[in-house]
Structure 1
Amino acid sequence: MERQAFTPGIVLRDVTMNDLPIFFDQQLDPEANYMAAFTTKDPADKDAFMAHWTRILSDETSSIQTILFDGQVAGSVSKYIDEDEQPEVTYWIGKPYWSKGIATRALIAFLNHIKDRPLYARAAKDNIGSLRVLEKCGFLRIGEGKGFSHARGEEVEEFLLRLD
């Protein structure tokens, strides 16, 4: 059964196969990749992209929703189990939808349906927009880390955040 969440201008719904080409195009944007930092090695590899999405859509421990803004696919939001066996949230907003409050409203709607706590998130230290979204949604900075960023070709520092 498809679950939908609604907040003004925003609808969350189950991901459909028709969403994947839109997600693929959204993640090709160089500026978006730079901001996200921790992206795939080759965003233009459509086969790898489709294999990744097929794998995560079949993962029963994950919850993934398409974000619709005024009826258009604006991005996605999800919860998955990270490498430390912790529930982590992530989202991607297509660049045309940046700076409209969409990520914050979508994440709030998503968190209203995800009851796991604590929840974790991470963002590159210089990704001010994403950090603001997470903090507006109640996430607190709890630590720091670093990892190799394919999008930037170097190690990037990040903040680790938690929502209790």
Structure 2
Amino acid sequence: MLLYLKEMDEIYAEKILRWKYEAPYDFYNNEYSVEDVQELLNSSYSAILDDQDEVFGFFCIGESAQVPIDADFGAYPQGYIDVGIGMNPEFTGRGKGLSFLTFILQQINEEHGALPVRLTVAAFNTRAIHLYEKLGFVKEKEFYRGDVVFITMVKGA
């Protein structure tokens, strides 16, 4: 599978915001809005296309990759590159996650050097957690946002 990086633009953002996942992953569905398009265009997001020029997924870094929380639970201490990812639901559950996340980690390493990486995942998403553990991520902290438990996972440099 050949993947390549593209600068996020309005067309890619609109496609991503219209993705619909099957339950229980419908938790990750977005509602299309002008504000959400602007969020994806804030320069911390990149689109990932496949060799058919389909939007295969995206990733973001920095604060955009963090789950907004009302209080400081110590979930996001300094010293990490936060990464958020999303894969087109057409490709999820088909064994493509390993190459997808490996591609993202290589892009981050090329741009930022060998720094520790952190991602946040909903605790119910055992499929993603298993993938992250396969790539060397370890669970660090748990916190709630509403009634959803989130886990931060880290991978050293």
Please classify the TM superposition score into its range, dividing by the shorter chain length.
Answer: 0.7 to 0.9
The 8 Å contact of residues 66 and 76 in structure 1, kept in 2 or not, is answered as yes
CA-based RMSD of the aligned residues comes to 2.3
TM-score by length of 1: 0.71
Unmatched 5+ stretches in structure 2 = 69-75
**Contact 1:10 / 1:102 at 8 angstroms: preserved in 2?**
no
Which runs of structure 2 are paired with 1:89-104 in the superposition (5 Å)? 89-104=83-98
Q: Please tell me whether residue 158 in structure 1 is matched to residue 145 in structure 2.
A: no
Hey, what's the Cα distance between the residues in 2 that align with 1:33 and 1:15? 23
2:73 is aligned to none
How is 1:92-131 mapped onto 2 (pairs within 5 angstroms)? 92-114=86-108, 115=113, 117-131=115-129
**1:78 aligns to what?**
60
TM-score in terms of structure 2 length = 0.74
Letter matched to residue 110 of structure 1: I
Stretches of structure 1 lacking an aligned partner (at least 5 in a row): 1-7, 149-154
- Classify the secondary structure of the residue corresponding to 2:152: strand
- The alignment-based identity, stated in percent, is 15
Q: Which runs of 4+ in 1 moved over 3 A?
A: 28-33, 81-86
| 2: CA distance, partners of 1:102 / 1:18 | 24
Which has the higher relative contact order, 1 or 2, with Cα contacts under 8 A spaced 6 or more apart?
1
Number of residues paired by the alignment? 138
Distance 2:118 2:38 in 1: 25
Q: Offset of 1:17 from its aligned partner?
A: 2.5
Cα gap change, 1:104 to 1:127, in 2 (>3 Å) = same
Query: What is the distance in 1 between the residues matched to 2:26 and 2:141?
Result: 23
